[in-house]
Amino acid sequence: MTSMEIKTGSAPSSRSGGDDSGALLDVRDLHVEFHTRDGVVKAVNGVNYNVSSGETLAVLGESGSGKSVTAQAIMGIVDMPPGKIPQGEILFRGQDMLKMSNEERRKIRGSKIAMIFQDALSSLNPVLSVGYQLGEMFRVHEGMSRKQAKAKAVELMERVKIPAAKDRVNDFPHQFSGGMRQRIMIAMALALEPDLIIADEPTTALDVTVQAQVMDLLAELQQEYNMGLILITHDLGVVADVADKIAVMYAGRIVETAPVHELYKRPAHPYTRGLLDSIPRLDQKGQELYAIKGLPPNLLHVPSGCPFNPRCPKAQDICRTEVPPLVPVTEQDGTDLPGRGSACHFWEETIHG
């Protein structure tokens, strides 16, 4: 089986059954490039993943791994130029969004697929009240009057548990805390009850308590509306209790896929193991925190072979010359491990060693 045939959705999901044939969104062999003065940056290099209704896919990786660019390509908001999508498919309910006209994609964006951006303060207009910005969705898409749209904005603010919503609907973004602004972004994404929400680092810059509140809110709303959710993050601690399956990205590629609990229990790629080992643990108090050596690669000059080889403690000669495909991961006796894949020449040593 080749890397193009591996599907993250092959893992059974506790909420959706994990049926690939009924995938809400199916990303196939997606490539995204940026043409710069210094050369071509291959930000996304053959990504495959899918998500079904009621299912949560967490996409993990360091900054620059291609997580957010993949999401932007799905939403159709990659700047072109310098961006370019030379190949791939983005199937939403079986229709390739890359072949749609701008008008057709606008009808899907917001009403069928919505995105929560990581920096709520810069994503909200500072000179317009939050009520006006929330109401705009209803005025534009459903033709409501300002009064009706404002009433809907209050409903949404109450739905995401913003206290005294009626009194605060005319407030401006800077008058809210970081956590409350993120709730407003969630309310804006929910406005038209989309089938799929993409949350790009929704807990960045929030303290741990507020992070937990935001994630609990997302999980509650997802269950209520039976939405698909793509959660983009670099923090494995954030996704442990909410994700069904995980795709780990490095240098524009997916290097490991797994059901969430299987990945935490037995990672099958050295990069994933390094991320897990970097999480602080209560039972290791006083010990030096592990860190993956080196830096993520410059995407203008990706190392030959496996992109992770300069930082990998298990790298051998083949790792420096041959790019490992994403292949199925099995038990030592050859038994299939559903939903598991690894792009490592020596994945067996990592998972079984």
Q: Can you say whether residue 135 is alpha, beta or left, with left for phi > 0 and alpha for psi between -120 and 50 degrees? A: alpha
Distance between CA atoms of residues 33 and 299, nearest Å = 10
Beta-carbon contacts of 114 under 8 Å, excluding residues fewer than 6 positions away, are 188, 189, 190, 191, 192, 194, 196, 197, 198
- Show the domains of the chain with their CATH numbers: 1-102+233-353 (3.40.50.300)
Q: Name the band, by pLDDT with cuts 50, 70 and 90, for residue 14.
A: very low
Distance between CA atoms of residues 122 and 118, nearest Å = 9
Give the largest Cα separation in the chain, rounded: 67
What pLDDT score was predicted for residue 220? 86
**Length, in residues, of the chain:** 353
pLDDT digits (tens, 9 = 90+) for 269-310: 999 999 998 887 776 677 788 889 999 999 999 999 999 999
pLDDT digits (tens, 9 = 90+) for 19-43: 344 789 999 999 999 999 999 999 9
Single-letter amino acid, residue 52: S
**What is residue 1's three-state secondary structure?**
coil
State the distance between the two ends of the chain, measured CA to CA, in whole angstroms. 24
Single-letter amino acid, residue 338: P
What pLDDT score was predicted for residue 23? 87
Distance between CA atoms of residues 158 and 84, nearest Å = 40
What pLDDT score was predicted for residue 8? 53
Q: Can you say whether residue 293 is alpha, beta or left, with left for phi > 0 and alpha for psi between -120 and 50 degrees? A: beta
215 versus 68: the higher-pLDDT residue is 68
pLDDT digits (tens, 9 = 90+) for 179-234: 899 889 889 888 888 999 999 988 776 777 788 888 888 888 888 889 999 999 88
pLDDT digits (tens, 9 = 90+) for 115-127: 988 777 778 999 9
What pLDDT score was predicted for residue 100? 92
Q: CA torsion sign, 131 to 113 to 225 to 143?
A: positive
Beta-carbon contacts of 279 under 8 Å, excluding residues fewer than 6 positions away, are 236, 237
- Contacts of residues 328-334 at CB distance under 8 Å and 24 or more positions apart, as own/partner, are 328/1, 328/6, 329/258, 329/268
Distance between CA atoms of residues 45 and 254, nearest Å = 9
Q: Name the band, by pLDDT with cuts 50, 70 and 90, for residue 15.
A: very low
